[in-house]
Structure 1
Amino acid sequence: MRLIIDENPNLIDPSELLRPEFDFVKKGLSKFRDYTIDENDKLKERVRQTYKAMHTKQTVEFVKNCHENWLKFDHAKMTVRQALEKLNNLVDESDPDTTLPNIVHAFQTAERARVDFPEHDWLHLTGLIHDLGKIMAFYGEEQWAVVGDTFVVGCLWSDNIVYRNESFEGNPDGKNPKYNTKYGIYEPNCGLDNLLLSWGHDEYMYQVLKHNNSSLPEHAMNIIRYHSFYPWHSAGDYEHLMKPQDDETKKWVLIFNRFDLYTKSSEIPNIQALWPYYQKLIDKYIPGSLEW
């Protein structure tokens, strides 16, 4: 796991953080999520190797084991703010668009949602916490089982998964007749909530919120659970497994995707100045110390 360490992890110097991100300030939308292969480009190669490990090792058995391990919620107790401040030390190794710590991206996403939907305070908070499940990386989980796009395990892998053509070689589920057909272990139109997705921060954070009795609305919970499920919400795959109610989920996830993806070229927000507003939302929807 690659970490950026600061002597005081609660404070961020925007002038320092902006320098590596300067090239993205006026980045065109078509240049986000560039997964072309260039072995001489360190960033691209880091991303590719993260996905290679993910696609080789994320099997049905592995995902079920992760559910058993992480959904005991016995790894830590901390507030949302404490968890967010941990993200000051995490750089997502699957992300080709930014080298900034995740806490910066959290506030960028939240503030964009706040501008576009000022009346939906739950959406602002959703932007702030959507990647919070990545704290698994601080408790022993490898980044390939924490970050990146998610996909369905237990059936044929979608053609629109990142690096699909070469990164699944060696995954034993590809040779298992129970798992390598169009429907695999699923029934037609069984619905999103009956699918087993590759393990990562989306499902973990969704389950953390449920376990700790968050009062966030269903739309917020679904955004958190499926925002990294790009082959579904952006490529249109897995429609044969969807139920009609999932269309509403997709609508909100696609709205949220504008805030999540395209704010990575934004200027650095004044995090300390924004804390009072977001602390009120945390106290409203996810108060106190949570079990992780």
Structure 2
Amino acid sequence: MTILIQQPDHHLGDEVEAKTAPINERELVLDGGFPIPQTNSFGHMFRAYHDAESERHEGVENFYRKNHTYQTLDFVKKMREEYAKLNKVEMGIWECCELLNEVVDESDPDLDEPQIEHLLQTAEAIRRDYPDEDWLHLTGLIHDLGKVLNLPSFGGLPQWAVVGDTFPVGCRFDESVVHHKYFKDNPDYNNPLYNTKYGIYSEKGGLNNVMMSWGHDDYMYLVAKGNNTTLPSAALFIIRYHSFYALHREGAYKHLMNDEDVENLKWLHIFNKYDLYSKSKIRIDVERVKPYYLSLIEKCRNLFSAVLPCKAEVVKSSLES
């Protein structure tokens, strides 16, 4: 997907710094007036992964047990090699958004609506507070499009290989990663090459050189890079790391970041507040907002290109390895 939106000259100075202060979940509004719900769709605090009373608790914990067990460095390498080909399926961006009507994120304790609702909730919340940052509106719309990996036409990957919080592989699993206890069943957990602070990486070597657990974030990043997108680097950073909560919420893994990562993290902090706190049972009037997002998509010349594995057994063998 090539993005041709002309970008304003962004200066990440005092204004942005002020807007990236730690969020107080009890505050009522975000930066420009977007109201923060005090509880999620089920009446619980956001990201309450250990709340046994939550309707989503058991399913979410079971998801992370599988995710943390099977997301190894070898698995990630196989998935990136296969899906970076981008040579099978082509479709328009809005068409891809509509496909997400069929996907509900099993890892999310805050929402059980189809994912197209979440895309529009995020984008509309950003649009309200940042009306002039059209690149950020579009980033909100497309940031989760990679969840189509869960659909049969895109390989039908299990949810543990598509959604959930992401984390680096090839180095020690930080204890701040949600449900860290399940990493003990991961083959890399006791591998001396991978279970140190830096593992196979170097200090301040840059997150672009770090292998992240495989899922919709990394896939959509590969789609954007593979189609020579002209979205700013902050948008690509948001797309690739918006589920990397151990970094942008807990402050872990900062020893792997370079100077460009530090600057882009400021925008991710802004984005995350809308990605998380816009989740609601209040439905978006799709037909009302659709013309605006179609106008943004019109600024994109080429199609959303995505990989469909040539043979189902290719993916199956990778998942079982």
Give the TM-score of the pair, scaled to structure 1. 0.87
- The answer to whether the aligner puts 1:196 opposite 2:207 as a matched pair is no
Equivalent residue for 1:81, pick from 94, 104, 110: 94
Give, as a single letter, the amino acid of the residue that structure 1 aligns with 2:217.
D
1:28 aligned residue: 39
1:19 aligned residue: none
Structure with more of its chain in helix, by fraction: 1
Per-residue deviation, 1:37: 5.5
1:116 aligned residue: 129
Per-residue deviation, 1:281: 0.7
Runs of 4+ in 1 over 4 A off after TM superposition: none
Partner of 2:225, secondary structure, is helix
Residues 143-191 of structure 1: CA deviation (Å, up to 9, x unaligned): 1011011001001101100011x21122110121100111100111111
1:219 aligned residue: 234
The CA distance in 2 between the partners of 1:101 and 1:62, in whole Å, is 28
Give the TM-score of the pair, scaled to structure 2. 0.79
Residues 226-276 of structure 1: CA deviation (Å, up to 9, x unaligned): 111110111000121111221111110010011100001362111111111
Residues 18-64 of structure 1: CA deviation (Å, up to 9, x unaligned): xxxxxxx94437800010163x8652111111111110000000000
Runs of 5+ consecutive residues of structure 2 not aligned to the other structure: 1-35, 307-321
- The answer to whether the aligner puts 1:282 opposite 2:293 as a matched pair is no
- In the TM superposition, what are the counterparts of 1:4-83 in structure 2 within 5 Å? 26-28=37-39, 31-36=45-50, 38=52, 43-83=56-96
- The answer to whether the aligner puts 1:98 opposite 2:114 as a matched pair is no
The CA distance in 1 between the partners of 2:88 and 2:164, in whole Å, is 22
Partner of 2:188, secondary structure, is helix
Preserved contact between residue 122 and residue 140 of structure 2 (Cα < 8 Å): yes
Partner of 2:259, secondary structure, is coil
Q: Which deviates the most, 217-226 or 142-151?
A: 217-226
Give, as a single letter, the amino acid of the residue that structure 2 aligns with 1:150.
T
Per-residue deviation, 1:289: 2.4
Partner of 1:31, secondary structure, is coil
Equivalent residue for 2:158, pick from 134, 142, 145: 142
Number of aligned positions between the proteins: 265
Counting aligned pairs with the same residue, the percent is: 48
Runs of 5+ consecutive residues of structure 1 not aligned to the other structure: 1-24
